């Protein structure tokens, strides 16, 4: 089954403790992206990747890092989490990300709480 | 980037047709219009996409007038399971050109 898998589903941590949220897709997609969703703000893009070893900032990249060493994986790294990063995070992928008429496939989300 | 405006929320009853209109006055010539649906605790899911006139699939219809400054997502005979947030997006530069706003929260009542 074609899917985007995120882990963990829920995560509670404390300020400053480094964490990684994993994302994997099994559709051989070149494009992958991370979003955060906050009440009333919709989804905002954090980082995206057009292919292996190619990443770029989205609208709200501060405090986050990503890597794309393999085509299927796109982990989101919070080196020193802060309470304002408490949010619902989604990973997404699409075939190439180049043309708008591609569908974005989303994972089920990771609810992160930073205390 | 073309900005979109949608109603924040809508209520409907089971069996009714629901029309959600999205305004995009600054839409560019090459922009497509795409709608996503998001259920609680899930990621958004692609519903439908169009460029002009009318597009229909098994889930919804999308009506786009000639000036393309707005579009209407039509959901026929909604059920309780159609309760979700619906996002309208416009863009032509690939997925990085797409911006999700706050969407329209549709509540279907029995």
Residues of B in contact with A89 (CB under 8 A): none
* A→B interface, C-beta within 8 Å: 4, 31, 33, 35, 40-45, 48, 56, 58-59, 90, 92, 94, 96-109
Give the pLDDT score at B30: 81
Give the pLDDT score at A96: 80
Average pLDDT along chain B, 110 residues, taken 10 residues at a time: 85 97 88 91 92 93 95 96 93 67 92
Report yes or no: B29 at the A interface, CB cutoff 8 Å.
Answer: no
Q: Is A108 helix (H, G, I), strand (E, B) or coil?
A: coil
**Nearest 5 degrees, angle CA A94-CA A9-CA A84?**
90
Give the pLDDT score at A12: 97
Given a cut of 80, whether residue A98 has pLDDT beyond it is no
Give the pLDDT score at B92: 65
Give the pLDDT score at B96: 63
Q: B43 and A107: CB-CB below 8 Å? A: yes
Given a cut of 60, whether residue A17 has pLDDT beyond it is yes
Give the pLDDT score at B75: 97
Q: Is B84 helix (H, G, I), strand (E, B) or coil?
A: strand
Give the pLDDT score at B2: 61
C-alpha–C-alpha distance, residues B70 and B104, integer Å: 15
What pLDDT band is residue A40 in, cutting at 50, 70 and 90? confident
From the candidates B38, B95, B96, which should be mutated to test the interface with A, based on the most A CB atoms within 10 A? B95
- What residues form DSSP beta bridges with A105? A93
Given a cut of 70, whether residue A75 has pLDDT beyond it is yes
Give the pLDDT score at B104: 95
Q: B101 and A99: CB-CB below 8 Å? A: no
Q: B43 and A90: CB-CB below 8 Å? A: yes
Nearest neighbour of A33 by CB, restricted to B34, B41, B95: B95
Nearest neighbour of A100 by CB, restricted to B45, B93, B100: B93
Chain A nearest CA to B20, separation (Å): 17
What pLDDT band is residue A100 in, cutting at 50, 70 and 90? low
The average confidence (pLDDT) of chain A is 93
CA distances from A70 to A22, A24, A50, B57, B77 (A): 12, 10, 12, 35, 44
Q: B94 and A40: CB-CB below 8 Å? A: no
Give the pLDDT score at B102: 79
């Amino acid at each position: 089954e074609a899917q985007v898998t995120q882990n963990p589903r829920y995560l509670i941590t404390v300020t400053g403790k480094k964490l990684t949220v994993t994302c994997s897709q099994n559709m051989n997609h070149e494009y992958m992206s991370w979003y955060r969703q906050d009440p009333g703000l919709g989804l905002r893009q954090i980082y995206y990747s057009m292919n292996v070893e190619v990443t770029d900032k989205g609208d709200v990249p501060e405090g986050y890092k990503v890597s794309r060493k393999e085509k299927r994986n796109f982990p989101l790294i919070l080196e020193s989490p802060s309470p304002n990063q408490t949010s619902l995070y989604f990973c997404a992928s699409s075939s190439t990300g180049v043309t708008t008429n591609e569908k974005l496939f989303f994972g089920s989300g990771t609810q992160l709480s930073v205390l | 980037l073309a900005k979109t405006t949608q109603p924040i929320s809508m209520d409907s009853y089971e069996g009714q047709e629901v029309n959600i209109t999205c305004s995009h006055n600054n839409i560019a010539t090459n922009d497509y219009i795409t709608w996503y649906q998001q259920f609680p605790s899930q990621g958004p899911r692609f519903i439908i996409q169009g460029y002009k006139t009318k597009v229909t699939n098994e889930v919804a219809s999308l009506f786009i007038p000639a000036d393309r400054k707005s579009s209407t997502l039509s959901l026929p005979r909604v059920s309780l399971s159609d309760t979700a947030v619906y996002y309208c997006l416009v863009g032509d530069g690939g997925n990085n050109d797409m911006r999700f706003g706050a969407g329209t929260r549709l509540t279907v009542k029995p």
